[in-house]
Amino acid sequence: MKLRTIYIIILTVILISFCVIMYSAFSNIAVHTSSDEAAYPKPYIVIDAGHGGEDGGAQVDGVLEKDINLNISDKLADMLRLCGYYVTEVRDDDISVYDRSSADTLREKKVSDLNKRVQLFNSSADNIVVSIHQNKFDNSAYSGTQIFYSVNNDKSSLLAEAIRRSVVGLIQSDNTRELKPAGTDIFVLDKAAVPAVIVECGFLSNNEERSKLLDENYQSDMAYSIAMGVLEYIETVKQR
**Residue 31 burial (C-beta neighbours within 10 Å; 0-12, 13-18, 19+):** exposed
Distance (Å, whole) CA 187 – CA 111? 10
Distance (Å, whole) CA 161 – CA 229? 8
Q: Would you tell me how many other CB atoms lie within 10 Å of the CB of residue 206?
A: 21
| Cα 167 to Cα 76, 127, 173, 178, distances in angstroms | 13, 22, 8, 12
106 pLDDT more than 80: yes
74-86 confidence digits (pLDDT tens): 999 999 999 999 9
- If you ran DSSP here, which 8-state letter would residue 108 be given? H
**Exposure of 147 in the CB half-sphere (CA atoms within 13 A):** 25
Q: Is residue 87 very low, low, confident or very high in pLDDT (cuts 50, 70, 90)?
A: very high
Q: Would you tell me how many other CB atoms lie within 10 Å of the CB of residue 107?
A: 9
The DSSP H or E segment spanning 131 is: strand 127-135
Check if the beta carbon of residue 82 is closer than 8 Å to that of residue 16: no
31 pLDDT more than 90: no
Distance (Å, whole) CA 31 – CA 220? 27
pLDDT at 169: 98
Share of the chain above pLDDT 70, in %: 85
- CATH number of residue 98's parent domain: 3.40.630.40
Q: Would you tell me how many other CB atoms lie within 10 Å of the CB of residue 99?
A: 13
193 pLDDT more than 50: yes
Q: Is residue 40 very low, low, confident or very high in pLDDT (cuts 50, 70, 90)?
A: confident
Closest listed residue to residue 195, CA positions, set 153, 237, 133: 153
β-partners of residue 135 are: 203
Distance (Å, whole) CA 143 – CA 153? 28
Closest listed residue to residue 121, CA positions, set 182, 63, 57, 58: 182
β-partners of residue 203 are: 135
Q: Is residue 191 very low, low, confident or very high in pLDDT (cuts 50, 70, 90)?
A: very high
pLDDT at 101: 86
Q: How many domains does the chain have?
A: 1
β-partners of residue 149 are: 181, 197
pLDDT at 26: 42
pLDDT at 18: 53
The DSSP H or E segment spanning 114 is: helix 106-121
14 pLDDT more than 90: no
Q: Which domain holds residue 85?
A: 3-238
Check if the beta carbon of residue 182 is closer than 8 Å to that of residue 189: yes
pLDDT at 8: 56
32 pLDDT more than 70: no
